[in-house]
Amino acid sequence: MTLVRWIYDATRLLMLMGVVILFGCGRNVPGDNLSKPAEPLLIYVDNFPMEYFTTRIAGPLAKVIFPVPAGRDPAYWKPTTVDIEAIQAADLVVLNGADYSNWSKKITLAPSKVIDASRPFKGRFLYPEDAIVHSHGPEGEHSHAGLASFTWLDFDQAIEQSKTIAEGITKQRPDRQTEIESRRLALEVDLTKLRDRFQKMVAHRSEPLLASHPVYDYLARHGGWNLKSVHWEPDEVPAEEGWKELSDLLTTHAARWMIWEGPPRDETAQRLTALGIQTVVFDPLAGRPEGEPIDFLSAMNQNLDQLERIYRYEPDGSPPAR
């Protein structure tokens, strides 16, 4: 081998070794290119149904926070400065919509972070015919004027709300669309069972009913109820003026059942019984129930158990025919 040829081959060898060293040192070992799992989304919600729907749909992809203490009315909850800062820092804020939560209209939220769960059926909102200003609990004075906002009590609307929530979460985690949709469909199956149970229960019945509070508008439409509402609180005995208003109402609306958000005082229940009116409790579940932890689905089935008391009787209030 000539000296020139030897120098040429040696030079090539050194160049190849340099390339190997250059790229070998920066080479990824197996697994280095795999992206780390994304941090769970931080999602704030404004009521108990939205917490349940969002948690079911997001699963491990999110930490869902419903900041209102149990037993408080979420619609009139007043967040502290710390609460507001935490909500504004969240990845998403799921709102029931239909003007449900007062606080959401008083703080600045990035539109890109907000999921308005009632947006798809905005054209089907209900507006109560009348309103009264009253006060109860730590939330203080408020009224039920404007939109009827307990939209989830129509189970078809609850299904639409779950779809809207799923869409919003999918925009944040498009690579997890399949599992998000799978969980949403499982929730839809459960909500459909609630709807079918309710519709079967109330079918072909249109007797007059009373509600202690004007929060059942969507449930009434959903079930084709002939429902009139007063403005009574479970933990208060109505004043004589309230009893007079009820007496006047009964002259044209001869109801035998009154639906309550919570158990009425014994004195109230006894006086209603004397008027031929029985009571049944149907918690709208806007807030997290007090006492033993219970999920929305289980609590709603308990509500339907209570409603079945009405439909065990004939429309005139007599026991069912044997």
Report if residue 322 sits inside a domain.
Answer: no
What is the reported pLDDT for 296?
A: 98
Q: Clarify whether residues 105 and 173 are in a common domain.
A: yes
Query: Does any domain span residue 150?
Result: yes
**Structure confidence at residue 245 (pLDDT):** 97
Whether residue 300 is found in the same domain as residue 239: yes
- Candidates 285, 288, 239, 296; CA nearest to 261 is 285
Q: Which of 221, 207, 206 is nearest to 278 (CA)?
A: 207
198, 155 contact by CB (below 8 A): yes
User: Is 84 a domain residue?
Assistant: yes
115 and 223 belong to one structural domain: no
Q: Would you write out the chain's pLDDT as a tens digit for each of its 322 residues?
A: 454 444 445 455 444 444 334 334 443 444 444 456 789 999 999 999 999 999 999 999 999 999 999 989 999 999 999 999 999 999 999 999 999 999 999 999 999 999 999 999 999 999 987 544 444 444 444 444 589 999 999 999 999 999 999 999 999 999 999 999 999 999 999 999 999 999 999 998 999 999 999 999 999 999 999 999 999 999 999 999 999 999 999 999 999 999 999 999 999 999 999 999 999 999 999 999 998 899 999 999 999 999 999 998 777 766 655 4
For the segment 231-240, what is each residue's pLDDT rounded down to a tens digit? 999 999 999 9
51 & 175 share domain: yes
Answer yes or no: do 179 and 221 share one domain.
no
Radius of gyration of the chain (CA): 29
Do 233 and 169 lie in a common domain?
no
Number of compact structural domains in the chain: 2
Q: Do 146 and 247 sit in the same domain of this protein?
A: no
Predicted structure pTM score? 0.84
Domain with 306 in it: 203-311
The predicted structure's pLDDT at residue 195: 98
| 208 & 183 share domain | no
One domain for residues 183 and 54: yes
CB-CB neighbours of 216 under 10 Å = 23
In a domain, 170, yes or no: yes
Q: Which residue in 287, 290, 268 sits closest to 279, CA to CA? A: 268
- Are 76 and 121 within one domain? yes
Question: Per the domain annotation, does 294 fall within a domain?
Answer: yes
The pLDDT assigned to 129 comes to 73
Residues 120 and 215 placed together within one structural domain of the fold = no
Contacts of 140 (CB under 8 A, 6+ apart): 76
Asked whether 209 and 226 are in contact (CB, 8 A), the reply is yes
Structure tokens at 276: 């031929």
Q: The dihedral of CA 115, 97, 103, 52: what is its sign?
A: negative
pLDDT value, residue 27: 39
Q: Is residue 318 part of a domain?
A: no
Distance CA 152, CA 156 (A): 8
**Closest by alpha carbon to 152, among 231, 200, 94?**
94
Angle of the 48-58 helix axis to the 177-202 helix axis, nearest 10: 140
Per the structure block, which two tokens stand in for 102?
């007062």
Q: Which long-range contacts (C-beta less than 8 Å, at least 24 apart) are formed by 127-131?
A: 128/214, 128/217, 131/214
188 and 280 part of one domain: no
CATH of residue 257: 3.40.50.1980
